[in-house]
């Protein structure tokens, strides 16, 4: 022991651009206005590969992913590849994810990589380098983060996102029923864990216009959120479709914050493939439903 405080803060990657990049929140707001509120998840489940007539191998993964990107990246505001389904194939799966991120961004979609990263600050800096450094092959418009090592441990990613013009979505009230035992528990200070996380997010976004770049993940399945969701940032709402939530549930869950909701569907759209036209039609139908409810 040296008696010094352990260094868990890490270093923050950044760029020295004179002209700061346009913040993610502004880019997202424009994409939602132009293309509609829908985020489509790219989740190549083994069962979906099979339903599409593909083998559960890297070639099947690649064909599936390329089909979704080619069909939807020019149409929907946000594509959300779920990293786990690529990681399960090792380095060759990650290569497919890298290509999907680059191709989707080139075609005009914002890419939110769903990786749910969270660790002590020094390791968080490495995750930030992986997803939020513009020089990284996995560089994304935004990434999902887990705050359960303490919101402050996410600082390297928050700083990296700000300097790159990227965003982060921090888990607050997840769509799965098991999340409540942690997220509804009382944190030090007396508020629930979720309320504490949402408070941190609101402070990160203070003064940002038209929308902050630090988002929250709040499930569409909750029935009622039961906490103040006014964080001046986007609210990613997974749970539509396969998990049972519908567009009509959103106003009740999100209240006045519903204008900042980014509803996300994976299996509910992907199950319509492999026809690109059917995928596009499913996404257009979901977008129409959401617009009818969200305005």
Q: Which residues in 5-44 contact ligand LLZGTKA7 (CB under 6 A)?
A: 41, 43
Concatenated DSSP letters for 161-226? HHHHT-EEEEEEE-SSGGGHHHHTSBPTTSSBHHHHHHHHHHHHTTT-SS--SEEEEE-TTSS---
Cα distances (Å, whole numbers) of residue 71 to 109, 202, 276, 279: 11, 35, 5, 7
Is 116 a catalytic site residue? yes
Q: Which is nearer to ligand LLZGTKA7, 104 or 217 (CB)?
A: 217
Cβ-based burial of 248 (10 A; exposed 0-12, middle 13-18, buried ≥19)? exposed
Tell me which stretch binds ligand LLZGTKA7 (CB under 6 A): 59-67, 96-104, 223-231, 235-243.
235-243
Q: Which is nearer to ligand LLZGTKA7, 125 or 222 (CB)?
A: 222
Cβ-based burial of 11 (10 A; exposed 0-12, middle 13-18, buried ≥19)? middle
Neighbours of 195 (CB within 10 A): 20
The minimum distance between CB 222 and ligand LLZGTKA7, in angstroms, equals 10
Q: Which residue in 116, 117, 162, 195 is the catalytic one?
A: 116
The minimum distance between CB 160 and ligand LLZGTKA7, in angstroms, equals 21
Which DSSP symbol is given to 260? G
The minimum distance between CB 243 and ligand LLZGTKA7, in angstroms, equals 5
The minimum distance between CB 207 and ligand LLZGTKA7, in angstroms, equals 27
Q: Which residues in 236-295 contact ligand LLZGTKA7 (CB under 6 A)?
A: 238-239, 241-243, 264-268
Q: Which of 219, 263, 273, 274 binds ligand LLZGTKA7 (CB under 6 A)?
A: 219
Which alpha helices (H) appear in 7-137, and where do they start and end?
24-35, 46-51, 58-72, 83-87, 90-106, 121-132
Residue 183 in the binding site for ligand LLZGTKA7 (CB under 6 A): no
Q: Across-strand partners of 218?
A: 173
> What is the token pair recorded at 287?
């977008």
Residue 205 in the binding site for ligand LLZGTKA7 (CB under 6 A): no
Residue 113 in the binding site for ligand LLZGTKA7 (CB under 6 A): no
Residue 178, CA atoms < 13 Å, CB-side half-sphere: 0
Cα distances (Å, whole numbers) of residue 155 to 37, 162, 191, 285: 28, 11, 21, 39
Q: Across-strand partners of 261?
A: 235
Residue 60 in the binding site for ligand LLZGTKA7 (CB under 6 A): no
Q: Which of 67, 140, 174, 205 binds ligand LLZGTKA7 (CB under 6 A)?
A: 174
The minimum distance between CB 242 and ligand LLZGTKA7, in angstroms, equals 4
Residue 140 in the binding site for ligand LLZGTKA7 (CB under 6 A): no
The minimum distance between CB 240 and ligand LLZGTKA7, in angstroms, equals 6
- Give the number of residues in contact with ligand LLZGTKA7, rule: CB under 6 A: 18
Residues at the interface with ligand LLZGTKA7 (CB under 6 A): 41, 43, 82, 114, 174-175, 217, 219, 238-239, 241-243, 264-268
Which residues carry out catalysis? Answer: 116
């Amino acid at each position: 022991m040296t008696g010094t405080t352990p260094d868990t803060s890490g270093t923050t990657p950044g760029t020295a651009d004179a002209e700061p990049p346009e913040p993610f929140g502004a880019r997202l707001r424009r994409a939602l206005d132009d293309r509609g509120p829908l985020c489509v998840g790219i989740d190549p489940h083994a069962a979906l590969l099979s339903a599409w007539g593909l083998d559960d191998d890297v070639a099947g993964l690649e064909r599936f992913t390329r089909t979704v990107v080619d069909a939807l990246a020019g149409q929907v505001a946000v594509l959300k590849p779920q990293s786990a389904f690529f990681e399960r194939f090792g380095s060759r799966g990650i290569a497919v994810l890298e290509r999907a991120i680059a191709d989707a961004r080139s075609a005009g979609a914002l890419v939110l990589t769903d990786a749910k990263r969270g660790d002590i600050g020094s390791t968080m800096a490495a995750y930030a380098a992986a997803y939020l450094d513009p020089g990284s092959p996995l560089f994304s418009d935004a990434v999902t983060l887990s705050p359960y090592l303490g919101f402050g441990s996410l600082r390297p990613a928050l700083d990296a996102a700000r300097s790159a013009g990227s965003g982060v979505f921090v888990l607050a009230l997840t769509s799965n029923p098991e999340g409540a035992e942690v997220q509804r528990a009382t944190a030090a200070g007396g508020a629930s864990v979720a309320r504490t996380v949402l408070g941190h997010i609101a402070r990160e976004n203070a003064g940002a216009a038209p929308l902050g770049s630090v988002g929250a993940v709040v499930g569409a399945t909750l029935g009622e959120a039961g906490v103040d969701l006014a964080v001046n940032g986007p609210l990613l709402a997974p749970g539509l479709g396969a998990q049972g939530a519908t567009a009509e549930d959103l106003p009740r869950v999100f209240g006045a914050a519903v204008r900042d909701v980014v509803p996300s569907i994976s299996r509910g759209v992907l199950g319509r493939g492999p026809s690109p036209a059917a995928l596009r039609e499913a996404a257009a139908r979901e977008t129409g439903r959401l617009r009818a409810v969200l305005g």
